[in-house]
Amino acid sequence: MGITKSEHFTDHQNELANVLKALGHPARVAIVEYLIQHKQCICGDIVNELPLSQATISQHLRELKQVGVIQGNIEGNSICYCLNPQVFEQITQFMGIVIESVTKNKCC
Amino acid sequence: MGITKSEHFTDHQNELANVLKALGHPARVAIVEYLIQHKQCICGDIVNELPLSQATISQHLRELKQVGVIQGNIEGNSICYCLNPQVFEQITQFMGIVIESVTKNKCC
DNA sequence: AAATTATATCGTAATATTGCAATATAGATT
DNA sequence: AATCTATATTGCAATATTACGATATAATTT
């Protein structure tokens, strides 16, 4: 098979999984870290930063944009990308719930 | 190709990406949510909960265990799984840095 | 010790992801 | 309008993931 059975899971589970999957690649983590440091970027900045082709970087940026991790604004010739905080707040909330649950009781 | 160029990224980037990738599947999100509610589980509990085969559930549990999201303790016949808080604290820290960075300045 | 219960692993098919060269698109500059 | 610059898309090959049936392993019960 190879197809994830999304229809069996809740919207919340699918959405959260999609965002985490998008962040689950070292190049995309590196892009986010670049944006933490530089606040914004254009595709070419990342092409200069990472040892991947322009086509590959463009693809990674699209994936991050698709799940709302970054947003892009057209600026003349190029597209200015920056981080979208909302998604990270969602993830942090989920992680907080996990941590709260775990610290309450020891493991089996 | 299809092979991630891990060697070009830092250990931190690869490790974080691996954990996020492991959490980036709705079934594995569902397993974590089950553990939030029930504190612990055996493989069979999840098999009863999700519409996936025993073999598939076992595989998902192994992936979560491999990156340290859960830990398993042998208890007689079965294996008791529970959440490992450390990993989530790492992720939360990363998310916190992102949020802090973003709230400081507006997007382009 | 045979049967039962619980989980893991193997093998395999279907699908998804990663990466890149080549090409397309679109605004800016000359 | 031709050229340049920046990014996106297409097509493809290599690899990874997802899922499951069948089988293996290992402790428990009868």
Secondary structure (DSSP) of A75-97: ETTEEEEEE-HHHHHHHHHHHHH
* Å separating the CA of residue A55 from the C1' of nucleotide D10: 11
Q: How far apart are CA A89 and CA A78, in angstroms?
A: 28
Dihedral angle over CA of B42, B43, B45, B50, nearest 10? 150
Q: What is the assigned CATH class of domain A10-104?
A: mainly alpha
Interface-testing mutation among A49, A56, A70, A94, with chain B (most B C-beta atoms within 10 A): A94
β-bridge partners, A81:
A41, A72
Identify the pLDDT of residue B1: 67
The answer to whether A46 CB sits below 7 Å from nucleic acid chain C is: no
Question: Which of A13, A24, A98 has its CB closest to that of B36?
Answer: A98
Length of chain B as a residue count: 108
Would you call B15 exposed, middle or buried from its count of C-beta atoms within 10 A (0-12, 13-18, 19+)?
Answer: middle
Asked which of A42-51, B82-91, B97-106 is least confident by mean pLDDT, the reply is: B97-106
The CATH topology of domain B11-104 is: Arc Repressor Mutant, subunit A (1.10.10)
- Residue B104, pLDDT > 90, answer no
Asked which of A86-100, B3-17, B94-108 is least confident by mean pLDDT, the reply is: B94-108
- What pLDDT digit, counting tens, does each position of B5-58 carry? 899 999 999 999 999 999 999 999 999 999 999 999 999 999 999 999 999 999
SS (H, E, C) B10-77: CHHHHHHHHHHHHHCCHHHHHHHHHHHHHCCECHHHHHHHCCCCHHHHHHHHHHHHHCCCEEEEEECC
Which residue is associated with the tokens 């299809």? B2
Question: How much is the mean pLDDT over chain B?
Answer: 94
A39 backbone dihedrals φ, ψ, rounded to 5°: 70, -35
- Residue B76, pLDDT > 70, answer yes
Interface-testing mutation among A84, A102, A105, A106, with chain B (most B C-beta atoms within 10 A): A102
Coil, helix or strand at residue A30: helix
- What pLDDT digit, counting tens, does each position of A19-77 carry? 999 999 999 999 999 999 999 999 999 999 999 999 999 999 999 999 999 999 999 98
Q: How far apart are CA B95 and CA A91, in angstroms?
A: 8
Question: Which of B8, B29, B99 has its CB closest to that of A89?
Answer: B99
